[in-house]
Amino acid sequence: MPSDMQLKTMNFVHHLLLKASFGKFGWTAGNMPALELTTTGRKSGLPRTVMLTSPHQIDDVIVIIASRGGDDTHPAWFVNLRDNPAVQVSYMGAPKVTMNARLATPEERAEIWPQVTKKFARYGGYQSKTERVIPVVLLEPIK
């Protein structure tokens, strides 16, 4: 599993690529659209930003997966948004917008997960590495 330092380094490099290319490169990764997610730190109350990919979209809803590479621990960003679902999202380089994050219901997950793993098999591999059910998160526009 990736260490916290490896994950932070990957995010730093991703941000650096975006900045150095003036936003021309870095908005896709692994054949998936990329997004910048800003949550509120559950302990610090400070903004916390991470680069993620979205393996699935449903109209204007962006789906993200809290896999952390199949680690037994949820990613920090997931725990943050679970405690405070108001998030800021810059999707594919668009200006940041406030969205509501929520965990997919069991029925929604049962529909979405097979679609994600069919297109991106590594998510199925991540699930097989851990006993936790990897969360599927829906980022929904606030209307």
Q: What is the pLDDT of residue 31?
A: 81
Contact (CB, 8 A) for 119 and 57? no
Domain count, the chain: 1
Evaluate if residue 6 carries a pLDDT over 90. no
Contact (CB, 8 A) for 52 and 37? yes
Domain membership of residue 72 as a residue range: 4-141
Q: What is the CATH number of the domain that holds 88?
A: 2.30.110.10
Summarize pLDDT for 80-123 with one digit per residue, the tens: 999 999 999 999 888 999 999 999 999 999 999 999 999 999 99
How many separate helices (H) and strands (E) can be counted in the chain?
4, 8
Task: Report the chain's mean pLDDT, rounded to a whole number.
Answer: 87
Q: What is the pLDDT of residue 4?
A: 64
Evaluate if residue 2 carries a pLDDT over 90. no
Q: Tell me the pTM.
A: 0.86
Count of all residues that appear for the chain in the document: 143
Can you tell me the distance from the alpha carbon of 70 to that of 140, in angstroms, rounded to the nearest whole number?
Answer: 25
